[in-house]
Amino acid sequence: MGRRGFRSPRNQSGLAMVELVLTLPLLLLLMLTFAEFGRMLFQYNSLMQASRDAGRYVADKAWNSTLGKLDLSGTLQTQAKNVAVYGVPANPNGYPAVVSGLTPANVAVSAVGAEHVQVSITYTYVPVIGSALPVLYGSNVPLGLALTSTVVMRAL
């Protein structure tokens, strides 16, 4: 009985390359989707932390113990917006925003009832690939996603 050597089938040469060409775009799209979702969660977490920091700052400074009520002055609101956006009450050194594209106009500071303050941040998340998907006919498909972070705290 003779031994035969291993012979690769000739009719399947290059099949792995064809499979790679067919599956690689789908795998890359899936990886991009997971990366974008992770980036969005990271930015939302940063917005939540910024609104909590600003809420704590306002809750600490807003209570006027002499009058026994909330006192949300324009200066305090501006400082709270700076805490939410830059992380500091005043930004003379030009610190960058905690989330790129976030401005003090995206932050709202208000009183809720007689003892609570509210800080709300509204931000539009834009994916890395752009703000809209072009289509062959009609208008572009917008990709921006509105992220809102709101915190209510009792004034101290």
How do residues 120-141 score in pLDDT, each as one tens digit?
A: 999 999 998 888 888 878 888 8
From the number of C-beta atoms within 10 Å of its C-beta (0-12, 13-18, 19+), residue 154 rates as exposed
- Whether 1 is in a domain gets the answer no
Q: Which domain holds residue 58?
A: 14-154
Question: Is the pLDDT at 39 greater than 90, yes or no?
Answer: yes
- Whether 37 is in a domain gets the answer yes
Number of domains composing the chain: 1
Rounded Cα distance between 137 and 131, Å, is 18
- Whether 7 is in a domain gets the answer no
- Whether 9 is in a domain gets the answer no
> Residues with Cβ < 8 Å from 50, sequence gap 6 or more?
83, 84, 85, 87, 98, 99, 102, 121, 149
94: left (phi over 0), alpha (psi -120 to 50) or beta: left
- Whether 25 is in a domain gets the answer yes
User: Are 51 and 120 in contact, with CB atoms under 8 Å apart?
Assistant: yes
- Whether 70 is in a domain gets the answer yes
User: Are 132 and 156 in contact, with CB atoms under 8 Å apart?
Assistant: no
Assign 2 a pLDDT band (cuts: 50, 70, 90): low
- Whether 5 is in a domain gets the answer no
The string of pLDDT tens digits covering residues 60-111 is 999 888 788 898 999 999 999 999 999 999 987 888 999 999 999 999 999 9
- Whether 146 is in a domain gets the answer yes
